[in-house]
Amino acid sequence: MRMSRPWSNSRNPTGFIVGNAKGPDRASPTAGSHHPMTLLQNIPLNLRESDILRRVGFGGRRRIRPQIKVLMHELMQEIEACRLLEPSAVYRYFRVEAVSDARTILEGGRILRGSLLPTLFSRAKYLALAVATIGHGIEDLASRYTRDGRVLRGMLLDGMGSAAVDQLARNVHLHVMEKAISMGYRASGAVNPGMPGLPLSEQRPMFQWLSARRIGVKLTSSGIMIPRKSTSMIIGVGSEMPSWTQSTVCKKCNLRSSCPYRVPSGDSDKSDGKV
Ligand code: SF4
């Protein structure tokens, strides 16, 4: 069986539901800020078979057993019937006040540590901080299948969840880019806490500033995101911003020849970093 068309979760023809997140951000003052928190819900996702296979680790294979494709199709139907995908995101633009070698100071005295942001975004007017999730549904079902000994199902579902998060991140990035354009700026590619020069610990203040619990995402004491199928990112916004795509990152990566998750040149991430 072939999945000739991408699988979509969208029941809403208008796509995103976009709104300003309501209620005070108790963790951090927002008074006087120019840009409100933006909440995105019902974010449409169109999963391609190739993206799922890449995330399962089958990306480099020329031939995939037909049984696997049948199983993927069944699982996609189960995801849809049980409404297991609940993509949502929250993001906000923070004005950049000052940049030094190892820290970036944002409006309200908020500080992000690490050398990556100053290196990439020394000329940014704003940093857009975002947290996004597809919810608990897919990972819970994947764990249940794995516990029951139906390991292939669990593995495929896990790959589907990861492919969905990848696309969710691209869609949120696109949203941030459109806003940048409307302000007369450009948006950079996205960086994620945990990359070299941007400690994973910087997620904690990000989560507070964004009130990530509004979309049901929290951090464990060791800094792991719950639900696991979630992501956080930072995007530079200004007149001249560096852009890149995941495929260009993979092209320069030392692991590219053996990595099953590699994104081939010119593949699906056309929205990453391009304005
Ligand atoms: S950047 Fe490297 S490790 Fe990451 S997906 Fe691409 S090839 Fe694999």
Q: Which of 54, 165, 192, 249 to mutate to test the pocket of ligand 1 (most atoms within 8 A of CB)?
A: 249
CA separation for the pair 90, 9 (Å, rounded): 19
pLDDT for residue 116: 95
Give residue 254 CA to ligand 1 midpoint distance, Å: 8
Query: Which residue's CA is minimally distant from atom 5 of ligand 1?
Result: 262
Straight-line distance from the first to the last Cα atom of the chain, in angstroms, rounded to the nearest whole number: 37
Note whether 229 and 139 are within 8 A (CB): yes
Give residue 17 CA to ligand 1 midpoint distance, Å: 32
Note whether 138 and 144 are within 8 A (CB): no
CA separation for the pair 267, 270 (Å, rounded): 7
Dig out the tokens for 171 from the structure: 């869609």
pLDDT for residue 144: 97
CA separation for the pair 241, 122 (Å, rounded): 9
Interior CA angle at 256 toward 250 and 258, to 5°? 145
Q: H-helix or E-strand containing 76?
A: helix 66-81
Q: What are the start-end ranges of the E strands in the chain?
A: 7-8, 17-20, 38-41, 46-47, 88-99, 103-106, 110-113, 126-133, 186-191, 218-219, 225-226, 230-238
- In the chain, where are the structural domains located? 7-252
pLDDT for residue 139: 97
Q: Which residues line ligand 1 (CB under 6 A)?
A: 249-250, 253, 255-256, 259, 261-262
User: pTM to 2 decimals?
Assistant: 0.85
pLDDT for residue 270: 45
Give residue 53 CA to ligand 1 midpoint distance, Å: 15
Give residue 198 CA to ligand 1 midpoint distance, Å: 17
- The tens-digit pLDDT sequence of the chain (275 residues) is 344 455 666 544 334 445 544 433 333 334 445 788 999 998 989 888 888 999 988 876 668 889 998 999 999 999 999 999 999 999 999 999 999 989 999 999 999 999 999 999 999 999 999 999 999 999 999 999 999 999 999 999 999 999 999 999 999 999 999 999 999 999 999 999 999 999 999 999 999 999 999 999 999 999 999 999 999 999 999 999 998 888 888 888 888 888 888 888 766 454 443 32
Q: How far is CA 42 from the centre of its chain?
A: 15
Query: What residues are paired with 40 via a beta bridge?
Result: 18, 89
pLDDT for residue 224: 94
> Which residue has 């020069």 as its token pair?
197
CATH of domain 7-252: 3.40.109.40
Give residue 127 CA to ligand 1 midpoint distance, Å: 25
Dig out the tokens for 122 from the structure: 């020394």
C-alpha gyration radius of the chain: 19
Sign of CA dihedral 24, 199, 171, 84: negative
The candidate with the shortest Cα–Cα distance to 126, out of 216, 44, 249, 38, is 38
pLDDT for residue 59: 72
